[in-house]
Structure 1
Amino acid sequence: MKLKNTLGVVIGSLVAATSVSALAQGQGAVEVEAFGKHYFTDSSRNLENGQLYGASVGYFLTDDVELALSYGEYHNLNSDDRVLDNNTRHKNIKGSLSSLDALYHFGQPGVGLRPYVSAGVAHQSIGQADRSGRDRSTFANIGTGLKYYFTENFYARAGVDGQYNIDANESEWMAGVGVGLNFGGGARPAPVVEPTPEPAPAPIVDEEPEPQPELVRVELDVKFDFDKSRVREESYGDIKNLADFLNQYPQTSTTVEGHTDSVGTDAYNQKLSERRAGAVRDVLVNQYGVDSGRVSSVGYGESRPVADNATEEGRQINRRVEAEVEAEIR
């Protein structure tokens, strides 16, 4: 595969991804990246330092762990071919590098800085200056670097990769930068607003009674990952449904209540429940335009379980934020 074809696939993916409506970081997301690296070679193959240009695609197995496949081609990689009359002639070496790496990201998904470490394997196919054929080597990779997410989806990266040539028993390394796009995720269907049964009409006396108001209610139940306060992408539909109801009935208000499971200390879980409630309140106010004075938040820590904390299923149910609001329709 030529480098321009590889970059074409990545650029096409970037353009197509910008049309996806549900974009998010975290588990299940996909990252595509174009990169350039400076290649510092080993000593035994008589190669001069050059550049590696290519692209990668990665999939997030969890919020923090990504599995990435990359392909790049070498440029400006020269070798001393032979010496004639004290004049050194250089040969431009062609080659490619394919890698499979696992990356662990630190910090929370979202806008901002996320350091990472990586490890994996690579296969190099490169020309030889002194004879025909190609030199093929297997590498063990280890690396570290920084990603900065300018938005939820667009980021830039800088990093250093150490490579151990298993076949030649020598070490090499690369330093490079890249830009990429993170996309994926989706939202579950919003809950249906069901009106409560209409009360029985009052007995008729001398005049016809006034119509009785109908009471409608919206309830919110947002689940969270263990020890996390980031709102899952699939919960945004539920939160928007509550925001639409509040905006439709401006006389209403609500309290967002945060809860945790029983893992951890009481003090830690109290703070975690407050952060979860605050995160949902921020989505209502900042993303869906609900007046901040109509939404309050409170955390109850682990004090109000609704399921058995002795099981993983029960603890998942208890890691939640709840809210409800009622309105009368005449």
Structure 2
Amino acid sequence: MKRTSLFALIALALSGATVAANAQSYDNWYVAPRIGAVAPDSDRETKISPLVGIGIGTWVTPNFAADFEYSINNGDNKTASRAAWEARGLNGNKQWESVWLDVAGRYFFGEQGAQWRPYIVGTVGVVRHAGFSFSPSDSPVDVTGAIVGHPTRGWDPAASLGGGVQYNLSDRLAFRGELQYRFDRDNNSIPHHTGFGDAIASLALVVNFGGAPTPPPVAPVAPKPPVASCRDKDSDGDGVNDCDDKCPNSPAGSVVGPDGCPQSVVIDLRGVNFKFDRPNTAEKNIGPTLKEPSAESIAILDQAVDTLKRYPNVKVEVDGHTDGVGTEAYNQKLSERRAKIVYDYLTGHGIDASRLDGPKGFGKDKPIDTNKTAEGRQRNRRTELTVENQ
């Protein structure tokens, strides 16, 4: 094949491959036209010659590629004179042509997406040498002046080792620079000489084809801030969330029901009556100080505890009272003891002391019934819870 024809083929492949590469995306196969030079074994008696070729390859793994390659180089003899060749006992090749077919394996180092990737390469294949030779007994020219001689040609096995580096311009285009040493078991070029070692340097343009490209990494999407629910809001601070609050503008500190609307809270301790002159200064347990049946009075106190727990915003004043029997000073102390024993009952059953004002004693100053009858005096011996901040 003429070198000009192969150059034209490579140019066509490059132009077509470049258009295709712009329309497709790289997955696992490519074409690789290349140019270079062959520095032949000195025993060949040929000059350094240009090399052109093309390869078709596939990515077997992200780090290994296999290629089928075709290359050609034409070399001139170092000595064109027949006499000089005869003097050295050699046949005279006027032009030396070499066609190289091989299968190459390249192992790349580094990540597939890296810009620079060094690699090692090994090939096995065959080389066909062709030339024109004459023996010393031949007449060098005929009567027309044309060279007289015998064509020499043949295929010989060859293998090479080398290394290179690939520069990735994009996912589809790359350059390869490569150096190889090729052993060629050539027994056609020079009679009685078998095996030559050639050095080969080349530069290739790699055009990748096929499949879908590796998608670029997707930037993590910042999570959207959670949308606040009305169940997480209490705009008026009444302890009822906005979803359930039917009175969204309740005054701060007001007592509200489950629907968020203001509610009047009454804690009635009527029925919690004390025995005469009880509790005394040593009594801490409220039960024995209450009028029989004391269980009824305890039940009323427990209802008060439950009410206070259901309405955590409610604060109460704990007030103690007496009947009219006895001195004012004595009744004052007795009313304070009655307020204190109820106060202790409430705190002992889970009501925080910060919600209780007192205990306070009012002696016999605020009767609710007459002190002239036993029944009236019994009703006056009491403790009350007065609701604040309504």
Superposition TM-score, scaled by structure 2 size: 0.44
Partner residue, 1:284:
218
In the aligned structure 1, how far is the partner of 2:9 from the partner of 2:99?
A: 12
| Paired residue type of 2:206 | G
In the aligned structure 1, how far is the partner of 2:84 from the partner of 2:45?
A: 20
1:77 Cα deviation after fit: 3.8
Decide whether the 8 Å contact of 2:128 with 2:156 is kept in 1.
Answer: yes
- Alignment match of 2:176 (pick from 157, 162, 174): 157
In the aligned structure 2, how far is the partner of 1:95 from the partner of 1:142?
A: 19
1:230-241 mapped onto 2 (5 Å cutoff): 233=214, 236=215
Quick check: which one's strand share is greater?
Answer: 1
1:68 Cα deviation after fit: 0.4
Decide whether the 8 Å contact of 1:111 with 1:151 is kept in 2.
Answer: no
| Paired residue type of 1:153 | R
Secondary structure in structure 1 of the residue aligned to 2:171: coil
In the aligned structure 2, how far is the partner of 1:176 from the partner of 1:34?
A: 10
Say which structure, 1 or 2, has more relative contact order (CA 8 Å, 6+ apart).
1
Partner residue, 2:36:
37
In the aligned structure 1, how far is the partner of 2:209 from the partner of 2:152?
A: 41
Structure 1 segments of 4 or more deviating over 6 A?
none
CA-to-aligned-CA distance 1:209-259 (integer Å, 9 cap, x gap):
xxxxxxxxxxxxxxxxxxxxxxxx3xx4xxxxxxxxxxxxxxxxxxxxxxx
Secondary structure in structure 1 of the residue aligned to 2:112: coil
CA-to-aligned-CA distance 1:177-200 (integer Å, 9 cap, x gap):
12221232227xxxxxxxxxxxxx
Distance 1:32 1:110, change over 3 A: same
Say whether residues 1:118 and 2:130 are aligned partners. no
Q: Percent identity?
A: 18
Instruction: Indicate the RMSD between aligned Cα atoms, in angstroms.
Output: 3.3
Secondary structure in structure 1 of the residue aligned to 2:23: coil
In the aligned structure 1, how far is the partner of 2:121 from the partner of 2:196?
A: 20
Partner residue, 1:71:
70
Decide whether the 8 Å contact of 1:79 with 1:129 is kept in 2.
Answer: no
Partner residue, 2:157:
138
Equivalent residue pairs, number = 197
1:62 Cα deviation after fit: 0.8
Higher deviation after alignment, 95-104 or 10-19: 10-19
1:148 Cα deviation after fit: 0.3
CA-to-aligned-CA distance 1:36-72 (integer Å, 9 cap, x gap):
1210112333222211111111101111111101112
| Paired residue type of 1:67 | A
Say whether residues 1:92 and 2:124 are aligned partners. no
In the aligned structure 2, how far is the partner of 1:166 from the partner of 1:126?
A: 11
Partner residue, 1:48:
47
In the aligned structure 2, how far is the partner of 1:85 from the partner of 1:123?
A: 31
Distance 1:176 1:85, change over 3 A: closer
Distance 1:85 1:136, change over 3 A: closer
1:159-308 mapped onto 2 (5 Å cutoff): 159-167=178-186, 168-186=194-212, 233=214, 236=215, 283-285=217-219, 294-295=221-222
Secondary structure in structure 1 of the residue aligned to 2:47: coil
Distance 1:97 1:45, change over 3 A: same
1:101 Cα deviation after fit: 0.6
Structure 2: any 5+ residue segments left out of the alignment? 134-149, 187-193, 228-390
Structure 1: any 5+ residue segments left out of the alignment? 188-232, 237-281, 286-291, 297-325
In the aligned structure 2, how far is the partner of 1:85 from the partner of 1:91?
A: 12
Distance 1:295 1:29, change over 3 A: farther
